[in-house]
Chains A and B, each alone.
Chain A
Amino acid sequence: MTTAPQTAPTKTEPVDPVYRQIRDLVYKVSGIYKADEKLYLLADGCVRRMKLMGAKSPRDYWDHLTANPSRDGELRQLLNEITIGETCLFRSQPQLDAVRKVILPEIVVEKTKQITKRLRIWSAGCSTGEESYTLAMNMMEESERLLKGWTVEILATDLNDRSVETAKAGIYGDYALRNTTDYYKRKYFTTLDEKKLQVRPEVKKLITFSRLNLQDDSKMLFMKGMDLIFCCNVLIYFDGASKAKVVNHYYTNLNFGGYFFLGTSESLLNLNDKLHLVHFPGSIAYWKPSLSSGKL
């Protein structure tokens, strides 16, 4: 067996072909696809795991992922490694553009006949709140235009109590705010000290943070009437059968005409054939066809 140095390739170096094999395995199991230009991120995660597992080369680590009795657990650990620390405010501008420029106008027309103008959004697996606040601020930007006279409710849930508490505090440093423009910082944050900003109370008011286990079927039944569901890098924590169950809950909880978003390099594979895969400029989502679309 050859011994390769346990360092991750950099952006410019050619990667060991085994990493492409690992990429395909990760996609098959989780629906997460690391494109060639992001392959070094995957390799980086592999190298960290290789060190812990004592794997001597990428090929050796491949065996850990495919042949060892503990392969399922190891794959889970690797998925953890490659999705960790991806979160920040305004993580995916194309998703936000799709929501504000395409989806909201569509939902507003769809619900035009309803007496109560209410928009419900669920950030499922909200972690420390970055996505939830980003959504809240963007909805507030529309409050004098598209969403004038509308009530916006954002439900943000996570399994981890500590994450939920951190999310509620809404305090972020430079790293989490790296994509946040000065406009948003000034309008929606107060300065705590040189390095930290805190989300203003009027933004927090839109969001209800709570702990929720996505596998708790009885609680999932109470999440009905959602127009938008965001579930980024969460499904990786479930095995095939429970993943299908969670996705089915999402489907049931979405309103007709509602949309379901995953992380930017994630896909549902074949978990639900009732949701339509749709493309927006720079992003994809899953759509539960509206009653008026004739596509049910």
Chain B
Amino acid sequence: MTTTSFTATIQDRVSRIDTMPSIPAVFLPLLELLNLPPENVKLDEIVKLVSYDNTIAAQCLRVASSPLFGLAKTPDSIKGAVLSLGLRRVQTILLTCCLGSAFPAKNWPLEPTTFWRHSLGCAMVCRKFSEKLAAPDGDKAYMAGLLHDIGFPVNCMVFPKEFAIATANATQAQIPLDEAERATMGFSHCETGRALAEKWHLADDLIQVIAFHHTPELSESAKPLVAMVHLSDLLCRMRNMGYGYYESRKVDLANNPAWAILLQEYRALEGIDLVRFTFELDEAAGEVFNLVSTIFGASAAAGKS
């Protein structure tokens, strides 16, 4: 099959995702609000949006009280959460909660809990990276980490047989999953994720992350963000937040091309203590696992059956 016909197949099949249970109605408007400068976003708009979905509001409050977000007391309303955590942070928490119900995890070839641990882990590492580098938008980085692999659930739903073979091959040969996807299917979650991201009209930088997080040098308009996600993704896979199988590989982060890309943008990267960063990441992993149970518990458990 040629590349063009592959792309056509992907687009055709992804367009049929419409027939599947859709994402919560508040997700896309919330994501759009995240692209606006914070001063243009009104608290009332967020509260109104969230009031349509009580489950998500309740989940958001539970998540807001997790140690990862550093609040001593559980806020009693979305408004209260915004006052303590800030609008941007609450938006990202809400989006995380929404995403849990976006993909019905039934009979996935990939363990859903493992997938969400990786996605949320990567989101957390991206935010920590941003803090260390004093990057301007840690919440954008968080969203980028959270969404980078949305192509995997797409594969689970749209190409279940082919993707099952790819995951089995990756596990058996202990190779990266994207390599196994390309070898067995001719394309990877980067292409299917991109198709979905475009269908959802996500912002261009998020589309770039989803499409190029395995090849950051190919990104045109969002290189530093894509590079940050690339490194965070690798770190997660090396620290027990990968895809649930052993990847026989060595990762030299400081000599990775993505490191050089990020260094051009942020000189602070030079002074980062990567070992301590790794140890701190291990510390946060337990909390990420708890969050996954809180947010994705029901849908993740459904996938196990």
Q: Which residues of B contact A277 (CB under 8 A)?
A: 252-254, 274-275
Q: How large is the interface on B (under 10, 10 to 19, 20 to 34, 35 or more residues)?
A: 20 to 34
Bitwise interface map of A from 14 to 54 toward B, beta carbon under 8 Å scored 1, else 0: 00000000000001000101011100000000000000000
Q: Which residues of B contact A78 (CB under 8 A)?
A: none
CA of A251 to CA of B157, assembled, Å: 50
**A287 on the interface (CB 8 Å rule)?**
yes
CA of A36 to CA of B253, assembled, Å: 24
A97-B246, A265-B279 given as contacts; is B240 within 8 A of A278 (CB)?
Answer: no
CA of A102 to CA of B250, assembled, Å: 7
**A295 on the interface (CB 8 Å rule)?**
yes
A37-B286, A281-B237, A281-B242 given as contacts; is B248 within 8 A of A102 (CB)?
Answer: yes
CA of A98 to CA of B247, assembled, Å: 10
**A279 on the interface (CB 8 Å rule)?**
yes
**A282 on the interface (CB 8 Å rule)?**
yes
Q: Which residues of B contact A268 (CB under 8 A)?
A: 275
Bitwise interface map of B from 272 to 305 toward A, beta carbon under 8 Å scored 1, else 0: 0111101110110010000000000000000000
**A101 on the interface (CB 8 Å rule)?**
yes
A37-B283, A101-B174 given as contacts; is B276 within 8 A of A278 (CB)?
Answer: no
**B4 on the interface (CB 8 Å rule)?**
no
**B58 on the interface (CB 8 Å rule)?**
no
Q: Are A281 and B275 in contact (CB under 8 A)?
A: no
CA of A269 to CA of B276, assembled, Å: 9
Q: Are B246 and A287 in contact (CB under 8 A)?
A: no
Q: Are A282 and B248 in contact (CB under 8 A)?
A: no
A35-B282, A37-B286, A276-B254 given as contacts; is B275 within 8 A of A284 (CB)?
Answer: yes
Q: Which of A27, A276, A280, A287 contacts B276 (CB 8 A)?
A: A27
Bitwise interface map of A from 101 to 130 toward B, beta carbon under 8 Å scored 1, else 0: 111011000000000000000000000000
Q: Are B278 and A35 in contact (CB under 8 A)?
A: no
Q: Are A281 and B247 in contact (CB under 8 A)?
A: yes
Q: Which residues of A contact B242 (CB under 8 A)?
A: 281
User: Considering residues A33, A278, A279, A295, which has the most beta carbons from chain B within 10 angstroms of its beta carbon?
Assistant: A279
- Chain A interface residue count, Cβ-Cβ cutoff 8 angstroms: 27
CA of A40 to CA of B163, assembled, Å: 44
**A267 on the interface (CB 8 Å rule)?**
yes
Q: Which of A35, A102, A276 contacts B255 (CB 8 A)?
A: A276
Residue of B nearest to A286 (CB): B275
User: Considering residues B239, B250, B282, B286, which has the most beta carbons from chain A within 10 angstroms of its beta carbon?
Assistant: B250
Q: Is the interface of A mostly helix, strand, loop or mixed?
A: mixed
CA of A98 to CA of B286, assembled, Å: 23
Residue of B nearest to A266 (CB): B275
Q: Are B238 and A282 in contact (CB under 8 A)?
A: yes
CA of A131 to CA of B239, assembled, Å: 23
A101-B174, A281-B238, A282-B238 given as contacts; is B275 within 8 A of A267 (CB)?
Answer: yes
A97-B246, A101-B174 given as contacts; is B279 within 8 A of A279 (CB)?
Answer: no
Q: Which of A35, A276, A282 contacts B252 (CB 8 A)?
A: A276
Q: Which residues of B contact A102 (CB under 8 A)?
A: 248-250
Bitwise interface map of A from 266 to 296 toward B, beta carbon under 8 Å scored 1, else 0: 0111000000111111101001000000010
Q: Are B247 and A279 in contact (CB under 8 A)?
A: no
CA of A282 to CA of B285, assembled, Å: 12
Residue of A nearest to B247 (CB): A281
CA of A158 to CA of B28, assembled, Å: 62
Q: Are B283 and A279 in contact (CB under 8 A)?
A: no
Q: Are B252 and A36 in contact (CB under 8 A)?
A: no
Shortest beta-carbon distance, A67 to chain B, in Å?
Answer: 25
Within 8 A of B (CB), among A55-106: 97-98, 101-103, 105-106
Q: Which of B246, B248, B250, B286 contacts A279 (CB 8 A)?
A: B250
| A-B residue pairs in contact (CB < 8 Å), sample of 28 | A31-B275, A33-B275, A33-B276, A33-B279, A35-B279, A37-B286, A101-B248, A102-B249, A105-B248, A106-B250, A265-B279, A267-B276, A267-B279, A269-B273, A269-B275, A276-B254, A277-B274, A277-B275, A278-B250, A278-B251, A279-B234, A279-B239, A280-B238, A280-B251, A281-B240, A281-B242, A282-B238, A282-B240
Nearest first, the 10 A-B pairs at minimum CB distance are A267-B275, A279-B238, A279-B251, A33-B279, A35-B283, A101-B248, A36-B283, A278-B252, A278-B250, A102-B248
Beyond A103-B250, A267-B275: 14 further Cβ-contacts under 8 Å?
A33-B275, A35-B279, A35-B280, A37-B283, A101-B174, A102-B248, A265-B279, A267-B273, A268-B275, A278-B250, A281-B238, A281-B240, A281-B249, A287-B252
